[in-house]
Amino acid sequence: MIPVRGVEGRRIAVLGLGRSGLAAVAALQAGGAEVVVWDDGAPARAAAEDRGLTVLDLTRPRAWEGVSLLVTSPGIPHLYPRPHPVIAAAWAAGVPVDNDIGLFFRSFATEEWDDFDTRPRVVAVTGSNGKSTTSALIHHILAESGRPTQLAGNIGRGVLDLEPARDGEVVVLELSSYQTDLARALTPDVAVFTNLSPDHLDRHAGMGGYFAAKRRLFAEGGPDRAVIGVDEDEGRHLANQLAEGPGDDRVIRVSVTRKLEGFGWSVFARRGFLAEWRHGRQVASLDLRDIRGLPGVHNHQNACCAWAVARSLGLGPRAIEAAMRTYPGLPHRSQRIAEADGVAYVNDSKATNVDSAAKALAAFDRIRWICGGLEKEGGLGGLVPHLGSVVKAYVIGREAAAFARQLPGIEAEICTTMARAVERAMEEAQPGETVLLAPAAASFDQYDNFEQRGEDFIAEVRRRLGR
C-alpha cells in the first residue's frame, strides 16, 4: 500500500466504493486521515459499514462540514454529461476534488529514496487503443530484464494498492481518460500516448474534450521523456507542442504508417519490421512478424511504444527482443486460445469500438468474424474499408439484425447468442481460416463487461473442441 501523504488529521470523503475507492480509503487511513465514505448503491454502503467505515450521506449540505477533500472513483462523471450530485455539492462547498491517481503521484516519492542507488521511476501509458497491451508489454520487458517493476492503474490493481518503491524500480501505469481527466497531480517520468480514436465521447463532450483529458498527462507534469504515436493529427499536434524542434530527443515519435527518419529519436514499424532511428541513422531493428504474442499492425504499434520506453530506460535491443519473444499477450486482446484442424481461434473481446475492431480484422486473413453488441456512437461506417478479409460475419447481441445491416458486401448471419455464433462459425470454418471475436461494440446488452464476453467465447470454443 502507498500511504497518502499530507492528510494526517484531515477529514476526507471518498465517493464510490469499488476497487479503487476501497484502496483509496485504506491508503488515506494509513496516512492518518479521518475517512467518511458514500456510494450510490445500498449494498456497497452496507458492506462499508460491515468493514467499520463511517458512511455519510454526501448529498446533504451539512455533510461537508469539516471535509477538506473529496476523492472520487474514476468511473463517476464529474463534468459531462452532467456532474454527479456529490461532486456538485463538493464544488458548492468549496471542497477540492481529486482521484486515486492524483493521490498516488503526490505520495509515491518518500524520504527513503535518498538512500537508493537508482531513483524509482513511473511510466504512464494512455491512448484510445493498445494502452493495456503496451503497459503489460513494458512491464514484461522490465521483469524479464531483471528490473524490479510493478503494474497498476486501469489494468490489474489500484495504484494505491502498490507496494512502496524499491531501489531502481519502475512502476508502469495504464491510465484511462477517466483517470487523467481529474487527477490534481500527474508527474510521470515517461509518458506514452498510443493513439486516438472516438470513444467515451459522452463523458468528455466530444473528441476535443476526450483529447484534452489525454493531453493532461503531458501538460500537467512535464515528463522527462514522451513517447507519442503520430499516426493521427492529435498525436502530431502533441509531439509538436512538446518538442523544441525536430532534433529534440526528449520526444520519441512512433508510427506504423510511415518512416520517421528526420527526428532526434523515433521508432516505427513498416511491413512487420521495427526500426529505431536516432539523429538521422538507424541504430536497431527487429522483425516482429514471428512474435506470436503481438500479431497485427496494431500490436506492432504497441511494440514500438514499448521498445521506445525500454530504450529510454537504458535497456539494450537484444534484451528487449528476447523479452518480446516470450510475451504471452493479454487475455481478451488478440488472444489465441486454440488451434484445431488448421483453424485458429482468437479472442479480442476488448475490441469494443470500431477502430480497435478494424485493427483486429487487419491482423488476420480469411476471418470468420463474431461481432455485435451494444453499438457505440458514430455507427459502423468506419469498419467498411476493413472488411476485405472477412469470409462471413456471425452477429450477436440484442440488436443483431440492425448491426448486420451496417455491414455491406459481406455475408452476415444473425446468431444473437455467443453459443450459436461459435457453433455456426466452427461448423463452417476451413483450414487456414481464423474464428475471431472482435465485437466492435460494448458488451452491456448481454454481459457485465468485455471480460465476461470473452470468457463466454473461450468456454464455447473449448467445449466444442472437447478441451
Q: Is 54 annotated as a binding residue?
A: no
Q: Say how far apart CA 372 and CA 401 lie, in whole Å.
A: 9
**What pLDDT is recorded for position 244?**
95
Residues in the chain where the model's pLDDT stays below 50: none
Q: Is 129 annotated as a binding residue?
A: yes
Architecture of domain 11-98: 3-Layer(aba) Sandwich (3.40)
CATH class of residue range 335-465: alpha beta
Residue 114 DSSP code: G
φ and ψ of 431, to 5 deg: -55, 135
Q: Is 128 annotated as a binding residue?
A: yes
**What pLDDT is recorded for position 94?**
96
Task: Give the CA distances from residue 93 to residues 70, 77, 78, 102, 363, in Å, rounded to whole numbers and listed in that order.
Answer: 11, 18, 15, 21, 52
Q: How far, in whole angstroms, is CA 98 from its chain's centroid?
A: 20
Q: Which residues of the chain form CATH 3.90.190.20?
A: 335-465
**What pLDDT is recorded for position 156?**
74
**What pLDDT is recorded for position 264?**
97
- The listed CATH number (3.30.360.10, 3.40.1190.10, 3.10.129.10, 3.40.50.300) that belongs to domain 105-325: 3.40.1190.10
Q: Give the β-pairing of 273-278 and 281-287.
A: antiparallel
Q: How many beta carbons lie within 10 A of that of residue 298, not counting itself?
A: 26
Question: In degrees to the nearest 10, what's the CA dihedral of 329, 331, 335, 336?
Answer: 100
Strands (DSSP E) found in 143-250: 149-153, 170-174, 190-193, 225-229
> Using H for helix, E for strand and C for coil, what is the string for 416-438?
ECHHHHHHHHHHHCCCCCEEEEC
**What pLDDT is recorded for position 381?**
83
For the stretch 53-104, pLDDT in tens is 999 999 998 999 999 999 999 989 999 999 999 999 999 999 999 999 999 9
Question: What is the distance in angstroms between the CA of the first residue and the CA of the last residue of the chain?
Answer: 39
Task: Give the CA distances from residue 261 to residues 167, 264, 278, in Å, rounded to whole numbers and listed in that order.
Answer: 36, 8, 8
Q: Check: CB of residue 395 under 8 Å from CB of residue 404.
A: yes
Order of strands across the sheet that contains 11-15: 54-55, 34-38, 11-15, 67-72, 97-98
Q: Is 132 annotated as a binding residue?
A: yes
**What pLDDT is recorded for position 272?**
94
Alpha-carbon Rg for the chain in angstroms: 23
Cα atoms in the Cβ-side hemisphere of radius 13 Å centred on 265: 18
The sign one gets for the Cα dihedral 78, 84, 87, 88 is positive
Amino acid in position 50: D
Q: Which residues of the chain form CATH 3.40.50.720?
A: 11-98
**What pLDDT is recorded for position 380?**
85
Q: What is the pTM of this model?
A: 0.86
Q: Is 350 annotated as a binding residue?
A: no
Q: Say how far apart CA 280 and CA 208 lie, in whole Å.
A: 34
Q: Which residues of the chain form CATH 3.40.1190.10?
A: 105-325
Q: Is 133 annotated as a binding residue?
A: yes
**What pLDDT is recorded for position 160?**
96
φ and ψ of 165, to 5 deg: -65, 145
Q: Is 130 annotated as a binding residue?
A: yes
Q: Give the β-pairing of 149-153 and 121-126.
A: unpaired
